[in-house]
């Protein structure tokens, strides 16, 4: 499969499109007046604590308070010092002497990107390790009881909780007791151990009162006015404010650094067991006994120790810089912001699978060449400047695909079609044969072929439109079980190409397939469109006859209060005026007979079609 990345950049907005086999599969957009805040770190102030919801609202200066759930809050940052003072009080820095480590003031957009992609890092809490365990390798069915599973993993197992915040590219395998400590490769540069903290170490934190499940209560952890460091884990969507977490995560090229957990994970997309164990053992050896948490990213496969060492040093140094800045600022304040959209996407997507990057801005092109040259010089020759007169998105058909993505109906190649309806809570997708009549005499074959085509297009549209949440797909009913399984396999194969985490359920008794897809930002439709001024987003307005009857009903109610005026003036939309004079004239006659007064109609084009005013003159 050939992949290309197209970049269109102006002073007002930046747009990127991913093409797979010449088909547009994903679009990224960022406008100068509405930059993405996902992954930004803020110092916020708690404005409300809600014991009934075990959550709190935090003001971070966005105009709308953010939402912090109790399990997303971590209190003892002091237990996760990155730089430890030595016995004589001097700062012993593990990072500055390391060969290849970037300087402290390394600008955003260097080879060691500062973007904290929580979608890849996840928020893995000590008491929520059910989200971190690879149940495909360690199913609960292997254990005789939940107590046995709890004892095996050293954490409370909560399978009834949905794995929130864990990305497919950052899924991790269970914590397994480490073998005897290995020699630290930084031994010569390692400072003396940190003296015991008066508050206790990482495994002996402050105890709080808890509910029946054993979790700490929000009222014991937070109070109004408290200032805390939080990271955006979910951007505002619609009327919902952003969701934040104090479990910050900072990704680099090969690793994601998680300072508030001790876990070491490996991307699920690295399928070789030998490679997974090699990477995990290497990261554990490199981090030593510092208690840092790391996730090994997909691009780390077959990388050597020096790559991880440089990434690890930079990320731990960056975290110390973030904490230091946070200590100096007063809430609400921005502490850390992620780099530009171009650098984020290129760093996370641009691999050997991509044949070329094309961009139309010469200045951005030069910056991108420097950026790629830092983290993967072998791919620099694949970055090319597009210099034709025709806009790059028009040349490769991206603009046309974006226009189609705003419409509910999508035609399939062989004549069938799907209809996509997005609601507040879920996305409903209906599959129809449309113009497709099949190539055989079997109705089952025709239906199966339509469903197979639809399965592939559905996933493309989910990625293109960036739809998430609960998604219900109504495939055409198939009688044979093997055909249903074939369609389901096709759906899962396409979803495997998607970076967003998803989970698919089997066909249910109604012939529906239900899946979930992580939603971290607004969909393409929400980004490009606004609710219709006429229907207010419902898709419908009252019919003209309904509005005419409403005028009659309101005058009937006003009849008792009418005075001695000679006529009644109806001010309304031009369409309503036309209907009362022609198609609905019988309603106008009934109004005249009922009131005994002359009726004057005044046209007001500025009025909404459902609005009208009645005045006696």
- pLDDT above 70 (res 188): no
**Burial group, residue 200, by CB count within 10 angstroms (0-12, 13-18, 19+):** middle
pLDDT of residue 309: 84
- pLDDT above 50 (res 162): no
- pLDDT above 80 (res 2): yes
Contact between residue 57 and residue 66 where contact means Cβ atoms under 8 Å apart: yes
Q: Which helix H or strand E contains 427, and what residues bound it?
A: strand 426-432
CA distance 561 to 543: 28
Residue 143 or 502, more confident: 502
pLDDT of residue 174: 35
pLDDT of residue 409: 93
DSSP-assigned beta bridge partners for residue 418: 410, 431
How long is the chain?
617
- pLDDT above 50 (res 411): yes
CA distance 110 to 367: 10
CA distance 126 to 130: 9
Is beta strand 264-266 parallel, antiparallel or unpaired with respect to 293-296? Answer: parallel
- pLDDT above 70 (res 154): no
First-residue to last-residue Cα distance in the chain: 74
pLDDT of residue 613: 92
Structure-token match 């093409």, residue found: 19
Q: Span 115-131, mean pLDDT?
A: 34
- pLDDT above 90 (res 499): no
In the DSSP assignment, the letter for residue 78 is: G
pLDDT of residue 414: 81
In the DSSP assignment, the letter for residue 7 is: E
- pLDDT above 50 (res 239): yes
- pLDDT above 60 (res 510): yes
What is the CB-side half-sphere exposure of residue 122 using CA atoms within 13 A?
A: 34
Q: What is the pLDDT of residues 414-456, one digit of tens each?
A: 888 999 998 877 899 999 988 887 777 788 888 999 999 999 9
pLDDT of residue 543: 92
Lowest mean pLDDT among 9-23, 108-122, 133-147, 263-277: 108-122
Q: What is the pLDDT of residues 328-376, one digit of tens each?
A: 888 888 998 888 888 888 877 887 888 999 999 888 888 888 888 877 7
CA distance 264 to 164: 18
Q: Span 183-202, mean pLDDT?
A: 38
Residue 201 or 86, more confident: 201
Question: Whole-number mean pLDDT of the chain?
Answer: 76
pLDDT of residue 212: 45
From residue 554, how far is each of 548, 560, 561, 614 by CA, in Å? 10, 11, 12, 9
pLDDT of residue 399: 92
The closest alpha carbon to 230, from 221, 242, 239, belongs to 242
pLDDT of residue 301: 81
Residue 596 — very low, low, confident or very high, per pLDDT cuts 50/70/90?
Answer: confident
Q: What is the pLDDT of residues 298-323, one digit of tens each?
A: 878 888 887 788 888 888 888 888 98
pLDDT of residue 204: 37
Q: What are the DSSP E strand ranges found in 323-411? A: 333-336, 354-359, 383-385, 409-411
Q: What is the pLDDT of residues 240-272, one digit of tens each?
A: 788 999 888 888 878 888 888 888 888 887 888
- pLDDT above 90 (res 86): no
CA distance 128 to 442: 50
Name the percent of the chain lying above pLDDT 90: 26
DSSP-assigned beta bridge partners for residue 230: 42
Q: What is the pLDDT of residues 205-236, one digit of tens each?
A: 444 444 544 467 888 888 888 999 999 988 88
pLDDT of residue 74: 67
Q: What is the pLDDT of residues 538-555, one digit of tens each?
A: 788 899 999 999 999 998
Residue 500 or 84, more confident: 500
- pLDDT above 70 (res 525): yes
Q: What is the pLDDT of residues 87-103, one digit of tens each?
A: 222 222 222 222 333 33
Q: Span 109-138, mean pLDDT?
A: 35
| pTM of the full structure | 0.64
CA distance 239 to 65: 11
- pLDDT above 90 (res 565): no
């Amino acid at each position: 499969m050939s992949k290309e990345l197209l970049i269109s950049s102006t002073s007002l907005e930046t747009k990127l499109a991913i093409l797979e086999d010449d088909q547009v599969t994903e679009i990224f957009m960022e406008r100068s007046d509405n930059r993405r805040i996902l992954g930004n770190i803020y110092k916020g102030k708690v404005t409300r604590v809600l014991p009934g919801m075990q959550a709190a609202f935090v003001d971070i200066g966005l105009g709308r308070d953010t939402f912090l759930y109790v399990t997303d809050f971590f209190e003892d940052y002091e237990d996760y010092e990155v730089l430890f003072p030595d016995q004589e009080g001097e700062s012993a820095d593990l990072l500055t002497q390391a060969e290849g480590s970037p300087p402290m003031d390394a600008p955003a957009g260097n080879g060691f990107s500062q973007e904290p992609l929580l979608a890849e890092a996840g928020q893995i809490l000590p008491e929520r390790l059910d989200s971190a365990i690879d149940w495909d390798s360690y199913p609960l069915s292997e254990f005789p009881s939940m107590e046995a599973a709890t004892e095996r993993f050293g954490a409370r197992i909560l399978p009834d909780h949905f794995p929130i915040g864990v990305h497919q590219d950052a899924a991790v395998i269970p914590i397994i007791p480490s073998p005897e400590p290995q020699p630290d490769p930084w031994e010569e540069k390692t400072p003396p151990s940190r003296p015991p903290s008066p508050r206790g170490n990482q495994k002996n934190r402050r105890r709080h009162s808890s509910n029946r499940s054993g979790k700490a209560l929000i009222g014991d952890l937070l109070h109004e006015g408290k200032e805390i460091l939080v990271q955006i884990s979910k951007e505002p969507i619609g009327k919902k404010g952003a969701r934040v977490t104090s479990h910050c995560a900072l990704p680099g090229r090969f690793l994601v650094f998680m300072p508030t957990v001790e876990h070491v994970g490996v991307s699920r997309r690295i399928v070789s067991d030998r490679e997974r164990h090699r990477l995990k053992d290497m990261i554990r050896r490199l981090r030593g006994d510092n208690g840092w948490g790391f996730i090994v990213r997909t691009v780390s496969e077959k990388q050597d120790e020096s790559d991880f060492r440089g990434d690890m040093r930079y990320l731990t140094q960056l975290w110390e810089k973030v904490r230091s800045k946070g200590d100096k600022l007063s809430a609400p304040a921005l502490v850390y912001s992620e780099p530009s959209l171009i650098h984020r996407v290129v760093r996370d997507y641009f691999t050997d699978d991509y044949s070329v990057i094309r961009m139309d801005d010469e200045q951005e092109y030069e910056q991108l060449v420097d950026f790629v040259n830092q983290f993967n010089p072998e791919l620099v020759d694949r970055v090319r400047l597009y210099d034709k007169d025709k806009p790059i998105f028009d040349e490769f058909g991206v603009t046309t695909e974006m226009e189609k993505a705003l419409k509910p109906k999508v035609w399939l190649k062989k004549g069938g079609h799907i209809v996509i309806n997005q609601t507040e809570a879920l996305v409903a997708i209906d599959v129809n044969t449309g113009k497709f009549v099949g190539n055989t005499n079997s109705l089952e074959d025709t239906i199966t072929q339509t469903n197979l085509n639809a399965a592939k297009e559905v996933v493309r549209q989910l990625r293109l439109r960036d739809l998430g949440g609960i998604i219900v797909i109504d495939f055409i009913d198939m009688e044979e079980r093997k055909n249903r399984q074939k369609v389901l396999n096709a759906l899962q194969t396409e979803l495997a190409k998607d970076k967003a985490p998803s989970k698919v359920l089997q066909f249910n008794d109604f012939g529906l397939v239900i899946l979930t897809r992580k939603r971290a930002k607004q969909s393409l439709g929400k980004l490009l469109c606004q609710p219709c001024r006429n229907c207010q987003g419902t898709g419908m307005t009252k019919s003209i006859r309904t509005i005419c009857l409403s005028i009659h009903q309101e005058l009937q109610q006003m009849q008792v209060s009418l005075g001695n005026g000679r006529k009644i003036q109806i001010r309304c939309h031009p369409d309503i005026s036309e209907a009362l004079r022609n198609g609905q004239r019988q309603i106008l006659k009934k109004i005249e007979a009922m009131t005994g007064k002359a009726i004057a109609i005044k046209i007001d084009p500025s009025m909404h079609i459902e609005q009208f005013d009645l005045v006696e003159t």
